[in-house]
Structures are given as C-alpha cells and as structure tokens.
Chain A
Amino acid sequence: MKQLPAEIAVGGTRTAGCDIEIMTHEKVPCIMKEQENMSISEKLNILADAAKYDVSCSSSGVERRGDGRGIGNSSRAGICHSFGADGRCISLLKILFTNECIFDCKYCMNRKSNDVRRACFTPEEVCNLTIQFYRRNYIEGLFLSSGIINNPTYTMEQLYRTVYLLRTRYYFQGYIHVKAIPGADAQIVEQMGLLADRMSVNLELPTAEGLSRLAPNKHRKNILTPMRQIQQGITQNKEELMVYRHAKSFVPAGQSTQMIIGATPESDYQLLMVAEKLYQRFDLKRVYYSAFVNVNEDKDLPSLPGGPPLLREHRLYQADWLLRFYGFEAGELLSEQKPNFNVLIDPKADWALRHLEYFPVEINRADYQTILRVPGIGVKSAQRIVKARRSGNLNFEHLKKIGVVLKRALFFITCNGKTMYPIRMNEDYITRNLISNEQGRRPSPDGLTYKQLSLFDDYHMGEEESQWKSII
C-alpha cells in the first residue's frame, strides 16, 4: 500500500485518483471570524455535545505494546476510564472535528437547517487535548467524527490531517477510532485505515426507505461502499501480515456500525436480520444500537412520550450477544410471525421456553454449545463448568460455589439426573416462575403458583380471548 505524502494531505492540492478539487481556505465555512476567538473550552463543549449520540466508545480489539519512543499502548480487552451520569462508558475522547454540516438529516442535532452554535477544532487542538487527557489517564484514545464541510472527501482529509499529526508528530500509540465519511474518496479512506485502529461507517437506519425518508442526503450505496472497502482492506492486510510480519496494519481493531432504534417503524426482526447480515457479509466487529432520542421535534419523527426506547435497545443488545458469542441465528430468536422481543423475558429464555424439547440439559454430560444455550448460563460459567467437571461430577452445590447463577438456569438443567427442585417442564409454569423470580420470589415446589393479575401478565390473552368469543 502506497503512503500518501503528508504535504498532499495537509496542504492540499489534488489527491491522486480524486475527482474533487480540494477547497482552498477562503471557501472553508468552518474557519469563520467568530470561531477564531472561541476558547478551547467552548469548542470542546459544543463538539463533545454534538458527538454524544454516537454510541461506539469501545477501545477493544487490538493489543499493542508501546515501542518505548512515544506515548501509549492498547489493550485487547479495552479499558473504560469513567462512566457518565447515563452509565455509559467513557473510554475515548469522543468529539466531532466540526459540527458544521451540509447535510440535513432529520434526526440529527447538527443538520443544516438547525440554528445551533457551530465550532471547529484545528488538528493541533485535537492532538493537544488527546495527549494531555491521555497522560493523565482520563482516556484510552481518540474517537473522531465530523459533520460534513464542503464535501465528504474534504472532510475526510481534515480528519486524516489530525490523525496523521497525532501519530507522527506526537508519537501517539494509543487507540484511535475514526468515522469513514460516506461518499469520501476511496484513497483517503485507505490512507486513514493505515493510521486508525478502528473505523466505522454508520448505517443509521436499517432499511433504504427509512434512510431516504429521514436522511435525504445519504444513500445506502454510499454507506455500504466504504464498508465493503474497509472489509476488503482488512482481509487483504491479514494476508500481508502473514507473509510479512512488519507490514503496516490496516484497521486492526476491525470496523463497526450503528443503527438508530425507534425513529422508523422497522421491527426487531428486521433489525436483527440486518445485523446478522452485517456480521456475516461485512465481517463487522460490532453493530451498535442507539435508542432514538428526539432532539429536533420534526414532523417526520415519532414523538416518544416515554423517553427513548431503552428496553428495546437492551433486548437488541442481548440478542446481538446471542448472535456473536452463543451460536444463535436471528431466525431462531424472531420470525415474521413474532417480529418483536418479549418485554418481560430476555431473548435467550424466550427461545428456551419455545424449545422445551431440548431441556433439561445434563450439566455433567452436555457439550459446551448445549450448556451455552441454557438461560442464565453465560460464556464464563459454561467454560468454568466444562473445566471443573473434568475432575469429577458436579452437583448444584458445586455450581453455586463456582459462581453459576441458578436463578434462571435451575429450570433448565439437571445435575446427575436430578433437578434442583421438583419442576414441571411446562411453558406456562416456567414462564410464571421466571417472571416472579424477577420480583424475588422462589419457585413453588409443588408447581402450584398463584397467578397475580397484572396488565402484563397474560401472554395467551389473544388465544383465551378468542376461546371466550367462541364460547359466547
């Protein structure tokens, strides 16, 4: 891969293979009189506030030791440095380069038609903030995104200048996540990939119709093209690294994307199918789901009196984990007939209740994949079980002691052929107990549970209702 000379990226005449003339400074709306005297604190406030709806803040996926000549390293597991008032991890200095934007996406605070204060960093300011925050151990690296100034390629070049400076002049070896701007020239995306650890292109909305309705300037094709390019770059780079150990790595922490949940009427099933396709066909590391927050009061956007759809987002993340780590397929969890997740029960328990024929699972004999499908048993517990049972049979006491939470699992497992309590393998019975468990009650051993009337309790309401109707 050919290295773009710094002057071209920084000074800007004409990038090879790029059709668009790089704008000269007079045409740049971002450098305006007012902003020249704007303090760094004001800029940071505006541009962090503008970046906060972007979900991705992970710093994982790449293990890199410092070479002793600069500052920084990177840990495979990722490191969170703080947690904000919303409980979300703060791991990267998450900012926009500028919140100027020529696009007019209806869900976005920074859209062209909004009258908000605009600001723009200089590359040096971003570098300084990153280094000074990093050496105080506030952050794990930089997350750099941007509104679109002039055109996508120009915007991408600004980001490249910044990251190039940070890597080469400040010798920063920590984590860098950069957004690929849809529509930017392929060459600049490739150059960026050689400096960044992770890149992401936001899918924004799961379907092309939704996208054209809410983001008239964005096109599905423009989003998928850089995504495919980055994927191919990563695959190619892996081959290069196999041949030549010191080849420059390209987006070593993989790429991710993000979808907004609840701004358009798609079902959970559609969302999950899209996510599954992204994992399979684009080799994405992560798909993020972002509960829609209505900041613009646009007539095309749903009003959400109950606040952002956080429970729905939570269920999608649970299902996402099932896809990535538990060997589930989207089609197993949801279907055309049942397009949305259960509000009361997590997707894994929901699946298990519909497939009681697989249960109970014998802890001492079942293989790892089967144990992994038991509700309440996660990757760590399953691994511990498989390792610990090598030196003898396990019973429920052992399971408790090695840290397996039995609250939900006890309905689905046996140890040496026995269940923990006398349990009926009946969908209604287990469902009731799982839900009452949430409220802190123990399952009744005789199988006689009272059914408390509440608005949410009845799942078979539809069936019962129709039965009643037929009787009447």
Chain B
Amino acid sequence: MALLDVRNLVTEFTTPAGPRRAVNDVSFAVQRGEILGLVGESGSGKSVTALSVMGLVDNQVGRVTGGNILFDNTDLTALPAAALRALRGKRLSMIFQEPLSALNPCYTIGDQISEAFVAHGDSDTRKNHQRVLELLRLVHIPDPEGVLRRYPHEISGGMRQRAMIAMALAYTPDLLIADEPTTALDVTIQAQVLNLIDRLRRELGLGVLLITHDIGIVAQYTDRVAVMYGGRIVETGPTAQVFATPKHPYTIGLLGSVPRLRHRKPGEKRTRLQEIPGSVPSIAQVTQGCRFAGRCSHSMPQCEQQMPPMRERGPGHDAACYWEGPA
C-alpha cells in the first residue's frame, strides 16, 4: 500500500472565463522511503499538485474538484479542515522554494521551529527548546545554539533552507513535499541540501515528493519520476528507465534541452541545445486533445481530437501518447 496515492486529481482555478483545470486528472503514488520526482516547466501544475495534496490551495483562487488523495488510506479530500490541519506539520510536511520569504522576518529561527510544536499543542517551552536543538543538529546546522537565536536575515540561504527542513521535520512526518527546495540556492549548497533530504529519507523512512524543473536533480536523486505538462502527467516510471528510453515527445524534448558537461574534441563543432519550440499553453485555453500537440513534432490528427490515455511502455513505465516512440 502506497503512503500517498493520488488518483485522478483535478484542481480548478476560478478565472474570469470560468473554472479552468490547473491539475487535470493526475494520478501518482509515493511509497515510504521513496523519492518521487515531479518535473515540468513553470506553469505545468507541479506546485498546484503539491498544494492540493497539502490542502493549501487558496480557496479564493481555486479548489480541488475531483479525484482522491489517499494518504495512508485516509482520503484527504474528504477530511474536515481541522483534521487536515492536525496532519499538516505532523505527518505531512512541506518545504518551499524561497527559504528567506518562507521564514517570518519577525521571529528567530528557534521561535519559528518551535511554532510547529506549539501548533500541535506541545507548548512546553523548555522541552521544545531541546527538540529544536536536536532538529538543528539533525539537519547538520553548525552552532545550533547560536542559530536558534538568529533572525532569518542573519543566516545564509543554505542555513535557512536547512532551518525550513528542520521545521518540516518537527514531528518526523511520513511525507515530505519539497517544492523546488534548491532553486534559490547556489549549486554547491544545492547538493548539500539535496544530500540532506536524501539522507533523511533513508534514515527516517520519509516518502518524498520532490518538485523541480531541474532534470539533473531528478536524474540524480529520485527513484521514480512523473513528467507533468499542461496540468497532466504525460509520462511516469522508474527514473533510470524513463531517462534511458523516454517515450513521450515532451520528455524527449525536456531531456534534449539539458546542457551536458563534456570536453569538445579539437576541431569538433559546438552543438546547439535542442529546444522545444513554442511555450506552455495558457490554462485559459481549453483543448480537447493533447495539450502538447501544438508543439509536438510527432503529432497526428487524432492528437487534436482526443487526449491520449496512459499506456504502459515497460514495467511501471507509462506514457500518455499515441506515438509509438523512437524505433
């Protein structure tokens, strides 16, 4: 039984033109101790998927209108607000892209982390102090006693993201959702933070949903990957297999647009990076068929007519495309 089992999730945004689907019929699962990478361009619905799972979609903007989110066999979409709140921060945690803006400038790091405890009714200040120290040690923050008393602007970006992770780990959650946790960090710090998440996943048995647009990160840190495009998952499977034999033209395009580090032989011409022509269709555009059809070099007449269903292409490897793939 999967820790998190999302089935046919639909999240709609209210637009002046009526409701539009930001997440459209998305299904995926995260096992305990596994990192699932959710990858896609900006606007593909990755973050909205994460917020939907957390129950944090702003009701002024949109709401989950369909599907089920089974977390440890409980359907989160059917849960009353208070019960969901009790899970958040305790069994379900989330870390954000920009650690500086995700920390309140008014409070010290120590105060903010202990808030996670206070929110769940543990208000013993001295005990919380000890627990915060343990958490800071767990995420390898040097001089935890000192950092505890610092304000967010007084510590470095990497330290802030560690503090955020510490906060998310307050109760050793079952599921950690990391929404582009390293996008705002230097490359060297990126590796440290991702290694930390990877280590915690192994030590604490966390299920991790890692959202990123960085293919390199997905390749290196995830067990399985789900590629999102235009609010749908277009291809999913074990990371190594998807990257070795991508089946969906979008995945192929995504992989082709990644720069590779290697030496050019003397006299060898520079090769241009492959780009995917066009841009992500706006959420306001309603299409019957595949949302990628307009940019796809393999599109067929039926792509415009009907959304291609998910088809198995290998063990655990599915893609939503009519095209049979490269020969």
Asked if chains A and B come from one complex, the reply is: no
